[in-house]
Amino acid sequence: MTDETSPSKSHGRLTMRASLRPRDLMEDVVVRGAWVAQVITLLPEAFPGVLGASLTGRALGLGLWRLDTIDLRTFGLGKHRNVDDTPAGGGAGMVLRADVVDAALRAAGPGLPVVYLSPRGRRFDQAMARQWAAGPGVTLLCGRFEGVDQRVLDHHAVQEVSLGDFVLTGGELAAQAMLDATVRLLPGVLGNQASTEEESFSEGLLEHPHYTRPAEWQGRAIPAVLQSGNHAEIAKWRRAQAEAITAERRPDLWADFKG
């Protein structure tokens, strides 16, 4: 069982135990074939968060994937387990120390790609979610304060990935968003596999609009074709809608699609 001083805490049916050696946990799961997310964070209590609910939570409970949090604080220095220090060269805020982050990355072990959540990184997208889902898992490093000492990122050749062009207080929400997008692509996580094949970005297009009962609401009717029962016509209509919406809202995606 976990205790307050253990750096690693696991979530999910296959991993109710946590150990001081997260690599061992990972190897257990690699043998069993479950996809692994390791999250290095100062806020382990923020996990699984929303990932513990609905389909991702059910999949976690079934052992279709596993989530290990590694508490950065346990690698802190001195009586107060300090993890940060003032920026070299001066300026506001604090920076996570290279030696502390290095210890956490070593505890995470090799075998999974290491990603630092960062507004400076490559923008996360559906293609990256697919790529992560196709691999054995990912180790995510959540920053806080001003970020992480550059030397430890260079030393471990850490890839930086951004959730978008805005600044969050820490990497935890970005980690949860990226894990949600990835885990739902794993086999068995969604009940209806077809739903990931038809949704936005899967073919480089945004998705067509959806409608459900009542047939008329506030004077607005469901498009007649959707009630025609003609599946070929419905598919044609949906495709045309997807193309029109993509061209109008996302000229960048539309140009790629046409290209």
What is the four-CA torsion angle of 128, 135, 153, 162, rounded to 10 degrees?
20
Which string of x and - marks every residue 177-216 that binds ligand SAM (by CB under 6 A)? Answer: ----------------------------------------
Span of 70-78, 80-88, 157-165, 184-192 interacting with ligand SAM by CB under 6 A = 157-165
Nearer to ligand SAM, 64 or 104 (CB): 104
Interface with ligand SAM, residue 167, by CB under 6 A: yes
* CB 51 within 8 Å of CB 98: no
Q: According to the binding rule CB under 6 A, does residue 162 interact with ligand SAM?
A: yes
Tell me if 142 contacts ligand SAM by CB under 6 A.
yes
Q: CA angle, 107 as apex, 102 and 111 as ends, to 5°?
A: 100
| Residue 88 found at the interface with ligand SAM (CB under 6 A) | no
User: Is 172 buried (19+), middle (13-18) or exposed (0-12) by CB count in 10 A?
Assistant: buried
Q: Which of 28, 85, 146, 207 binds ligand SAM (CB under 6 A)?
A: 146
Q: Which of residues 59 and 152 has its CB atom nearest to ligand SAM in the complex?
A: 152
Which lies closer to ligand SAM via its Cβ, residue 48 or residue 143? 143
Interface of this chain with ligand SAM, residues 118 to 137, rule: CB under 6 A: 118-120
| Residue of 61, 110, 135, 164 that binds ligand SAM (CB under 6 A) | 164
In angstroms, the CA 77 to CA 201 distance is: 45
Q: Is 39 in the site for ligand SAM (CB under 6 A)?
A: no
Stretch that binds ligand SAM, among 98-106, 140-148, 187-195, 225-233 (CB under 6 A): 140-148
Residue 48, interface with ligand SAM (CB under 6 A)?
no
Q: 57, 113, 170, 204: which one contacts ligand SAM (CB under 6 A)?
A: 170
Q: Does 168 bind ligand SAM (CB under 6 A)?
A: yes
Residue number of the CB closest to ligand SAM reads 143
Asked if 157 is part of the footprint of ligand SAM (rule: CB under 6 A), the reply reads no
Q: In the bound complex, what is the minimum distance in angstroms from residue 115's beta carbon to ligand SAM?
A: 10
The site for ligand SAM (CB under 6 A) is made up of: 117-120, 142-144, 146-147, 162-164, 166-171, 174
